Amino acid sequence: MRRWNGWGDETTVVELPAHGADFLLARVGAGWTLPDASLDSALALVPPSRLAAHGLYSIEAHDRLLHARGQSLPDWLALREGKPGVYPDAVAYPQSQEQIRQLLALAQTRDLCLIPYGGGTSVAGHINPTISSRPVLTVSLARMNRMLELDEQSLIATFGPGASGPQVESQLRARGYTLGHFPQSWELSTLGGWVASRSSGQQSLRYGRIEQLFAGGTLETFAGPLQIPTFPASAAGPDLRELVLGCEGRFGIISSVKVRVSALADDERFYGVFLPDWPRALQAIRQLVQARVPLSMLRLSNAVETQTQLALAGYPKQIAWLEKYLALRGAGEGKCLLTFGVTGNRRQNALSLAQARQQLKRFGGVFTGTLLGKKWAQNRFRFPYLRENLWRAGYVVDTLETATDWSNVDNLLNKIEDSLRDCLAAQGERVHVFTHLSHVYGEGSSIYTSYVFRPAADYPATLERWKALKHAASQTIVENHGTISHQHGVGKDHAPYLPMEKGALAMDALKTLSRHFDPAGRLNPGTLLQE
């Protein structure tokens, strides 16, 4: 069963190894835990709904609590304390496009706000209701999760918007295909949510981001359904898919999604290589991607992330041997771990591997075979579970991300890390900060930074710590030519920074579009656009 106040399935537990706990103790200090509320006490705080019971939705406290928050750090704190504060008045689970249209009609006659809800894995406050004089109805698409059509000639599959990662892949794999979209939240996030928040999967290098995979579909709006036909390419004016991609539930509810799929690959492997230092590692990864070596994923950890990963992996004896060997081969202190993947057929993959090894050797890369790559593949969706045991050990962990051009990657990365590391110094607190690059392009790269800090004396003060950290990093990003989000979207947390990135004219255009599809401003108020 899904955890009500944390990440993922209750039966999956990722331990914090003793060596990892010592590592954090040395860098952040002794952990400090805040008390967790019980589910019963959290349910007891859900106020009565402002809506009367209705066949199209539930007003049960349990449904309303479970859809009150996503997975951002403020959401985590609110749920652990058992006080989300604002709750939807009801939750609907439509099973067809027709029922979505009935809900839109109901919103008009009863003067409601609607929040489209996919898997609720937003990490930027997208699906949190705000205080509103209108009752709020959250629309969960979870029951619209089937593959409706597969055009095997065109390689286009049509799905209900609420299909989660495993539901998408299992239905496609049964027919020999894959979407190839694997965000770390894959277990719980949905196709509609990926499109609405412009998601990026771990193998975007091969399969593309959701922008490249999204071929068309239907958006149900207050002005009627917007149908987006599929074309391999079109010069017929602006691309209407762009109205749906990143709309974050502000323009309508996505009721069907057409995606470009691929035949399953025969062979896939992941490898680990250590580069001696960050400057060489950065150059190596840039040249690999600019040379268009056909790899399916690349993830480069900076020196602190490499050190942290090795500490949290457990197996201190084996790691000590590995480090001795690496030091002998020239990758000692300051080494950076690069994980890369090849996906395709055996011959192609052998060629890509040889090309990659040759390029990496020029930068002092020490190749360690498939062992670390296999570990990465086994744990690719498990890392978020560690948050649970870090919390129990008295530490808070959060991540943030951006993207910028190659000429600015190092500068921006250092500035983000500095802004976080120094942020709580006045309170005498240390913040452990580390970064990786995992979505790389010819022009530039995403930058993904994690930070670990200790809770304050209570929940409100801990939230204040997070606000200070988040603001410092977000301001640094927009002031230094980074996008406020490469993959997590805008939601409510990033909305204040969006005007700095887009400019006043563009913000006006987005607001006009929102009013065009939703004149009364009923859809997901406060997300994407602050008004």
From candidates 88, 135, 192, 444, binder to ligand FAD by CB under 6 A: 192
Residue 70 interacts with ligand FAD (CB under 6 A)?
Answer: yes
Residue 126 interacts with ligand FAD (CB under 6 A)?
Answer: yes
Grouping H, G, I as helix, E, B as strand and the rest as coil, residue 41 is helix
Please say which residue, 58 or 164, places its beta carbon nearer to ligand FAD.
164
From candidates 42, 141, 275, 400, binder to ligand FAD by CB under 6 A: 141
Written as six digits, the tokens of 21 are 């706990």
| CB neighbours of residue 243 within 10 Å | 18
Q: What is the largest CA-CA distance in the chain?
A: 73
CB 452 within 8 A of CB 466: no
Count of residues interacting with ligand FAD (CB under 6 A)? 38
Q: How many alpha carbons fall within 13 Å on the CB side of residue 322?
A: 21
Grouping H, G, I as helix, E, B as strand and the rest as coil, residue 432 is strand
CB 211 within 8 A of CB 198: yes
Residue 249 interacts with ligand FAD (CB under 6 A)?
Answer: yes
CA 72 to mean position of chain CA atoms:
10
Report 154-173 residues binding ligand FAD (CB under 6 A). 161
Site string for ligand FAD, 97-116 (x = CB under 6 A): ------------------xx
Please tell me the distance from the alpha carbon of residue 93 to that of residue 72, in angstroms, as a whole number.
23
From candidates 197, 218, 256, 343, binder to ligand FAD by CB under 6 A: 197
Residue 228 interacts with ligand FAD (CB under 6 A)?
Answer: no
Residue 196 interacts with ligand FAD (CB under 6 A)?
Answer: yes
**DSSP summary character for residue 222:** T
CB of residue 166 vs ligand FAD: minimum separation in angstroms? 13
From candidates 190, 218, 302, 339, binder to ligand FAD by CB under 6 A: 190
Please say which residue, 121 or 368, places its beta carbon nearer to ligand FAD.
121
CB of residue 154 vs ligand FAD: minimum separation in angstroms? 23
From candidates 20, 84, 118, 365, binder to ligand FAD by CB under 6 A: 118
CB of residue 433 vs ligand FAD: minimum separation in angstroms? 18
Residue 185 interacts with ligand FAD (CB under 6 A)?
Answer: yes
Phi then psi dihedrals of residue 482, to 5 deg:
-110, 155
Q: How many alpha carbons fall within 13 Å on the CB side of residue 80?
A: 25
Phi then psi dihedrals of residue 319, to 5 deg:
-65, -40
Report 253-292 residues binding ligand FAD (CB under 6 A). 253-254
CB of residue 438 vs ligand FAD: minimum separation in angstroms? 8
Residue 493 interacts with ligand FAD (CB under 6 A)?
Answer: no
Please tell me the distance from the alpha carbon of residue 500 to that of residue 375, in angstroms, as a whole number.
40
Please tell me the distance from the alpha carbon of residue 259 to that of residue 147, in angstroms, as a whole number.
11
Please say which residue, 256 or 404, places its beta carbon nearer to ligand FAD.
256
Please say which residue, 349 or 483, places its beta carbon nearer to ligand FAD.
483
CB 377 within 8 A of CB 410: no
CB of residue 387 vs ligand FAD: minimum separation in angstroms? 8
The residue nearest ligand FAD at its CB is: 193
CB of residue 326 vs ligand FAD: minimum separation in angstroms? 28
Residue 200 interacts with ligand FAD (CB under 6 A)?
Answer: yes
With vertex at residue 213, the alpha carbon angle to CA 208 and CA 219, rounded to the nearest 5 degrees, is 140
From candidates 82, 88, 165, 193, binder to ligand FAD by CB under 6 A: 193
Written as six digits, the tokens of 187 are 């277990």
Please tell me the distance from the alpha carbon of residue 494 to that of residue 451, in angstroms, as a whole number.
18
From candidates 20, 82, 120, 216, binder to ligand FAD by CB under 6 A: 120
DSSP strands (E only) in 76-117: 90-92, 113-117
From candidates 79, 127, 342, 360, binder to ligand FAD by CB under 6 A: 127
Return the HEC string of 137-189.
EEEECCCCCCEEEEECCCCEEEECCCCEHHHHHHHHHCCCEECCCCCCCCCCC
Which residues are at the interface with ligand FAD (CB under 6 A)? Answer: 7, 70-71, 115-123, 126-127, 141, 161, 183-185, 189-190, 192-194, 196-197, 199-200, 248-249, 253-254, 384, 487-489, 524, 527
